[in-house]
Amino acid sequence: MMQVLPIQSCATTKEFLSSGKLIVLTGPSGVGKGTLMRSLLQRHPELYYSVSATTRSPRPGEINGENYYFISRNKFEQLVAEGEFLEWAEFAGNYYGTPRENVLNQVQSGKLVVLEIELEGARQIRASFPETLSIFILPPSFEELEKRIRGRGQDSEEAIARRLQRAKAEIQAANEFNIQIVNDDLETALQAIEVALFG
């Protein structure tokens, strides 16, 4: 169950976004957001990638500060109370959020800042920062998405069913975003993102 929580609005949104740009990349689980993001950052090191905070445990190979900031539930709730997140939500019993200060500082300094976040977080960001460029990544088909999720070999049948059910609802929200890109071929999708960002 996804629980969406209110965020504090920023009175100086326009001032912060006048020099740089905030870019949100979202899409259902298994669509290839992470792979696209890694390829994009390799090709464009000038982009600033915002690392999210989470209360979930690190998976094997994940590095604190690189994949996520892994923090305790108490610490996360303290940061929420202090208004330290641009967006945050609870999913599958864990909190996830985007640290506010780093992102706004980078945008203010003229950087293109990219967030790879879930649909609910993307909606929160767009509500607070209407100037955000929002990109929704779609699968070539629902069958292909199911194949990709199963191919990971990470989830139980129950978890796969939940992900697929959630993906159906998320795909219906694609038209809320500025740009929709189908990730059928990685290179083609990547080029479409580059056109969206750099013209």
Q: CA–CA separation, 198 vs 191, rounded Å?
A: 10
Tens digits of residue pLDDT in 4-39:
333 333 434 444 445 689 999 999 988 999 899 999
**Burial state string for 167-176 with b = 16 or more CB within 10 A and e = fewer than 16:** beebbebbee
Give residue 1's pLDDT. Answer: 36
Give residue 83's pLDDT. Answer: 94
Read off the pLDDT of each residue in 49-67 and give the average, rounded to a whole number: 91
pLDDT higher than 90, residue 81: yes
Q: Which of 74-78, 156-160, 166-170, 190-194 has the lowest mean pLDDT?
A: 156-160
Give residue 118's pLDDT. Answer: 86
Read off the pLDDT of each residue in 98-111 and give the average, rounded to a whole number: 92
Taken in order 22, 148, 185, 172, the sign of the CA dihedral is negative
Tens digits of residue pLDDT in 158-170:
888 888 998 999 9
How does DSSP assign 133-159, residue by residue? EEEEEE-S-HHHHHHHHHHH--S-HHH
**Burial state string for 71-92 with b = 16 or more CB within 10 A and e = fewer than 16:** beeeebeebbeeebbbbbbbbe
pLDDT higher than 70, residue 174: yes
CATH number at residue 42: 3.40.50.300
Q: Which candidate, 20, 25, 6, 39, places its Cα nearest to that of 128?
A: 6
Could you tell me which residues are beta bridge partners of residue 134?
24
Q: How far is CA 125 from CA 9, 47, 80, 162, in A?
A: 10, 18, 15, 25
Read off the pLDDT of each residue in 47-68 and give the average, rounded to a whole number: 91
Residue 121 tokens read as 């977080």
Q: Which candidate, 123, 117, 126, places its Cα nearest to that of 53?
A: 117
Number of domains in the chain: 1
Max alpha carbon distance in the chain (Å)?
Answer: 47
Q: CA–CA separation, 150 vs 132, rounded Å?
A: 33
Beta strands 112-116 and 21-26, pairing class: parallel
Q: What is the mean pLDDT of the chain?
A: 87
Tell me which DSSP letter residue 67 carries: T
162 lies in which domain range? 3-198
Neighbours of 26 (CB within 10 A): 26
Q: Which candidate, 121, 134, 177, 130, places its Cα nearest to that of 6?
A: 121
